[in-house]
Chains A and B, each alone.
Chain A
Amino acid sequence: MPNEVLIIIVVVVAILLLIAIWFIATMNSLRQNEVKVNEAESGIDVALTKRFDTLSKMVDTVKGYTKHEAKTFENVVKWRKGMPDDLTLEQKQEFMQKLNQVQADINVAVERYPDLKAEKVFTNLQKTIADVEEHLQASRRLFNANVSRLNQKIVSFPTSIVAAKIGMGKKPFFEAELEKRADVKMEF
């Protein structure tokens, strides 16, 4: 009789131990995936900052030609301090959207003032911005790929149990085109 009890205890302990090991392994895997998502997000930050810097330089060049239209670029002047720290993902998307607008304005200016195309500094900046764009897209895609992988794990059973226990929820994607969101206000 005591032998049987001992066997049951050993089996129960072994099962609990296996569950604990699985729980820890799954939790670590989720955490590692989360770290990858965060790393990818910092990649977006770097690319956004570089895009902001390059666009600022382009604006400086363009402004010489478009003094009477300075209003178009006044938004950028407000952002002299660069990309604010501790932005949420949604705010970063909003920031990117604003940079898109600046870039569109620059393109319009280039169309109006063809002499700009002859400026060596400006053409070099155009090349740089094209490369920065590529890096930003790559960062965004890498981020979304990592988020997708993490989200798939979070919603899959039985990993979903561990995710719920450690309070990990689905992460949002970084969208290329942001819909107008009235609730987000950006102050630079």
Chain B
Amino acid sequence: MAEELSLHQGKKKQSELIAIVGLLTVVIGILTLIFLGDTNDTMATVGIVILVVGIIVFIVGLIKFNLTVKKFKKTFLKDYFSKIIEEGSYFPKRYVSPQAVYGSGFLKRADRFKGKDYLSGKIDGIEFESSDIHLQERQVYTDSKGHRKTKYVTYFKGRIFKFDFHKPIEHRLQVLEKYRPRDGYKYKKVELESIDFNKKFKTYATDAHTAFYVLTPHFMEALMKIEQNHPGKLGFSFMEEKMYFAINNNKSTFPIYPFVKIDERLVDTFKEDVEMLYELVDDLKLNKRIFKED
């Protein structure tokens, strides 16, 4: 693994160097234009040429960087996740379908839908799929000169998870932190026994009994623990043998930044994200199939 990682790191470092050289060339070109090009036409031309060459080299560096990251994700990460997750599939460019995202019942329809880093598989026999999601809504406004303009405002940037949920429920339940149900069903707000839980989450259910059936004291405690460990706006929903979990934290799950080494430490941070899935399944006891007929 270390050898493969250093190969990717070598290519990434090379692309970063090219970008730096390009950037430095741009700076030299600008300085030449400012200090020498003012009085000397030849030097002005040289300055422009250096500037253009610098920009081209910088762009080449950026493209090379993106290609390196893409290749790292498509080869190394894909292979890595398939090894550490049962039936694990990873596709850096794909994402959870909009149908599944809106199926959560609390995310409103976006005017612009983007996603990446699709990961699916089985955790302790429980099927899951997840991906980063970026949802934006279109806003039309009039500027100070009276021109109508359009802008896209982000209202969700984070990750969504969809798990198998084997507790048979006929009704719908949503446990939300600053969201509200948006799937058109007739929900009622349910107050549970835990004051802390009610402060942290708002519970909506189409039937109060379902809320108490799913949200056992242990389950509530587990949701509180998840909330403490994951800063951001959280939402959980339970319906049709599925559990949805969305976390709006303005973060990417598997980011590769410039000048951050591709090494085992970086891979470990990705592994932590997968371990979080195991923790989630275990804490919520999603792997306990006692409610399902064999």
Interface residues of A (CB under 8 A from B): 40, 43, 124, 127, 130-131, 134-135, 137-139, 141-142, 144-145, 148-149
Answer whether residue B107 sits at the interface, using C-beta atoms and an 8 A cutoff.
no
Are A130 and B291 interface neighbours, CB within 8 A? yes
- B191, B192, B211, B290: which contacts A130 (Cβ < 8 A)? B290
Instruction: Specify which chain B residues have a CB less than 8 angstroms from the CB of A130 in the assembled complex.
Output: 290-291
Residue in chain B with minimal CB distance to A47: B209
Are B291 and A139 interface neighbours, CB within 8 A? no
Chain B 206-222, CB within 8 Å of chain A: the 1/0 string? 00111111001000000
Report the 6 A-B pairs with minimum CB-CB distance, sorted nearest first: A138-B212, A138-B213, A142-B212, A141-B212, A130-B290, A131-B291
Q: How far is the CB of B291 from chain A (nearest CB, A)?
A: 5
Q: A137-B216, A145-B193 are in contact. Are A43 and B209 (CB under 8 A)?
A: yes
Instruction: Specify which chain B residues have a CB less than 8 angstroms from the CB of A127 in the assembled complex.
Output: 290-291, 293
Instruction: Specify which chain B residues have a CB less than 8 angstroms from the CB of A131 in the assembled complex.
Output: 168, 290-291
Cα A135 to Cα B216 in complex, Å, equals 10
Cα A138 to Cα B211 in complex, Å, equals 8
Are B193 and A141 interface neighbours, CB within 8 A? yes
Number of chain B residues close to chain A: CB under 8 A: 15
Q: How far is the CB of B171 from chain A (nearest CB, A)?
A: 12
Q: How far is the CB of B222 from chain A (nearest CB, A)?
A: 16
Q: How far is the CB of A164 from chain B (nearest CB, A)?
A: 25
- A124, A142, A144, A149: which contacts B209 (Cβ < 8 A)? A142
Cα A48 to Cα B293 in complex, Å, equals 22
Q: How far is the CB of B43 from chain A (nearest CB, A)?
A: 82
Instruction: Specify which chain A residues have a CB less than 8 angstroms from the CB of B211 in the assembled complex.
Output: 142
Instruction: Specify which chain B residues have a CB less than 8 angstroms from the CB of A40 in the assembled complex.
Output: 208
Instruction: Specify which chain A residues have a CB less than 8 angstroms from the CB of B208 in the assembled complex.
Output: 40, 142
Q: How far is the CB of A130 from chain B (nearest CB, A)?
A: 5
Are A139 and B209 interface neighbours, CB within 8 A? yes
- A43, A124, A135, A142: which contacts B293 (Cβ < 8 A)? A124
13 other contacts beyond A141-B212, A145-B212, with CB at 8 A cut-off? Answer: A127-B293, A130-B290, A130-B291, A135-B209, A137-B212, A138-B209, A138-B212, A139-B212, A142-B208, A142-B211, A145-B192, A145-B193, A149-B191
Residue in chain B with minimal CB distance to A145: B193
Chain B 13-47, CB within 8 Å of chain A: the 1/0 string? 00000000000000000000000000000000000
Taking CB atoms and an 8 Å cut-off, the chain B residues in 240-277 that contact chain A are none
Q: A127-B291, A139-B209 are in contact. Are A144 and B216 (CB under 8 A)?
A: no
Residue in chain B with minimal CB distance to A139: B209
Cα A43 to Cα B212 in complex, Å, equals 12
Residue in chain B with minimal CB distance to A140: B212
Instruction: Specify which chain A residues have a CB less than 8 angstroms from the CB of B191 in the assembled complex.
Output: 145, 149
Cα A40 to Cα B208 in complex, Å, equals 9
Cα A40 to Cα B212 in complex, Å, equals 11
Chain B 177-215, CB within 8 Å of chain A: the 1/0 string? 000000000000001110000000000000011111100
Instruction: Specify which chain B residues have a CB less than 8 angstroms from the CB of A144 in the assembled complex.
Output: 193
Q: A124-B293, A145-B192, A149-B191 are in contact. Are A134 and B209 (CB under 8 A)?
A: no
Cα A145 to Cα B188 in complex, Å, equals 15
Instruction: Specify which chain B residues have a CB less than 8 angstroms from the CB of A142 in the assembled complex.
Output: 208-209, 211-212
Instruction: Specify which chain A residues have a CB less than 8 angstroms from the CB of B290 in the assembled complex.
Output: 127, 130-131
Residue in chain B with minimal CB distance to A130: B290
Q: How far is the CB of A45 from chain B (nearest CB, A)?
A: 13
Interface centre among A124, A131, A139, A142 (most CB of B within 10 A): A142
Chain B 281-294, CB within 8 Å of chain A: the 1/0 string? 00000000011010
Residue in chain A with minimal CB distance to B191: A145
Are A134 and B192 interface neighbours, CB within 8 A? no
